[in-house]
Structures are given as structure tokens and as C-alpha cells.
Amino acid sequence: MKRTSATSREEDFEPVARLADVPAGQLVGVAKSDGERICLANVDGEIMAVSDICTHQDFSLCQGTLLPDATIECAWHGARFSLRSGKPLRFPAETSLPVFQVRVVNGAILVGGRKL
């Protein structure tokens, strides 16, 4: 699997949604052009992007709950992850969640490579 550094090139970013499509306090599922599922989160106006697949079991994190402390809780078994680092914060998850670089340009949400 290709990993990118925290300084992806401009061409590594692709539009996945409009800012208006991700209201404050909400989770929205999108897909990158390669089919990878991404969960976008709007935390007090800051857009964050993580893999939409819980690392505990294959379940959509966008079906879960966005918490005010920039964490996401999986609806299936209650695993929690930091949206900033991807680190698991509550059992049963033990593996970090992939976190993606995000840019907002002219109202478009662009997602780049994975953060290291």
C-alpha cells in the first residue's frame, strides 16, 4: 500500500465533497476516485478525514457518532478513535485508523494522501 508523507503534492489531492455538504457536527461518507471509503467530519468548522472502515471490524464509521473532542465512536461495538491521529482510544479497537490530509479550496473539500 502506498503511503505518502505529510507534504503531499498538489496533484495528490482530489475533490470529494463540497464544504456545504458536511455541516458542523456531522459525519459524511464519501469515496476517493480509487474507491477507498473516507469519513469526513466537521468539528467546529475544521474538516477532518479518516478511513470509513473501523479497524476492529469492517463497519462504516460514518454510521457512528462524532464527539465534541474530535473523536469518533463506532456504532457497532463502541470503539473510539482520535480524528487527529487515528489512534484507538477505546477497546475493542487496537489498530490505528488511517487519517488523510485535507484542504478546503473555494468551497471544495480535497483529500490527499494518508498522514504518517
Residue 105 to residue 107: CA distance in whole angstroms: 5
Of 80 and 6, more confident: 80
- The answer to whether the pTM exceeds 0.95 is no
Closest CA relative to residue 72, chosen from 43, 95, 92: 43
pLDDT for 1 equals: 34
pLDDT digits over 12-69, tens only? 999 999 999 999 999 999 999 999 999 999 999 999 999 999 999 989 999 999 999 9
What are the sequence ranges of the domains in the chain?
Answer: 10-114
Q: What average pLDDT does the chain have?
A: 93
Residue carrying C-alpha cell 473510539: 80
Domain at 10-114: CATH code: 2.102.10.10
